Structure 1
């Protein structure tokens, strides 16, 4: 997590991830995925890095949703794919994750609201 975050933001994240019924926020999802990938970067094999990433508590809120399996498959594909072809290699996995999230939209209401709120933002993600 960024050191520039204030205590109320931190409390909000802890509260939302502590409750199994709360939906993951966009920022929390991006931070969790980035942290999960980074934590296992030192491991020698891609399978070990994937296993380590999926065990990270930082992605638990996403894995504990109705779309946990789709998330696991998308993250696994992302980590296994060559950087140059990642978008085309993993598109079907991310489409399946998106479809699952649409199907279970009430579970992802906060996530969807954040996406709509930031739909016209350009440039790299700011988390």
Structure 2
């Protein structure tokens, strides 16, 4: 319960910090997924992590528009290193669903 404007601000800041910490934990867990290991380990790994994190932390509308610079840098890195996507496509081929399941 708010007892005045100052207590509301403090509560709001505490809630914002908690929300930010939860978001950081979710991002960290997502980045631990083996499905992104190749992207993280490759030549564009640091940009991938930065882009992924920026997008998920974005509060802009439309979501992620404030991540344009880093997203373009990541896309440029992928263009300079096409083997990254080739390797991912090859890995995906092994995960393809049988035609009956499609």
Scaled to the shorter chain, the TM-score interval is: 0.5 to 0.7
Q: Which has the higher contact order (CA 8 A, sep 6+)?
A: 1
Larger radius of gyration: 2
| Higher helix proportion | 2
Q: What are structure 1's unaligned runs of at least 5 residues?
A: 1-43, 113-127
For 2:38 and 2:82, locate their aligned partners in 1 and report how far apart those are by CA, in whole Å: 15
Asked whether the 8 Å contact 2:27–2:56 carries over to 1, the reply is yes
Match of 2:96 in 1: none
* Aligned pairs for 1:19-98 within 5 A: 45-82=22-59, 84-98=61-75
Aligned residues: 69
What is the TM-score with the length of structure 1 in the denominator?
A: 0.47
RMSD: 2.2
Provide Cα deviations, 1:42-100, integer angstroms capped at 9, x if missing partner: xx711111111111112112112111101000000011002624232111111011011
Long gaps (5+) in structure 2: 1-20, 90-102
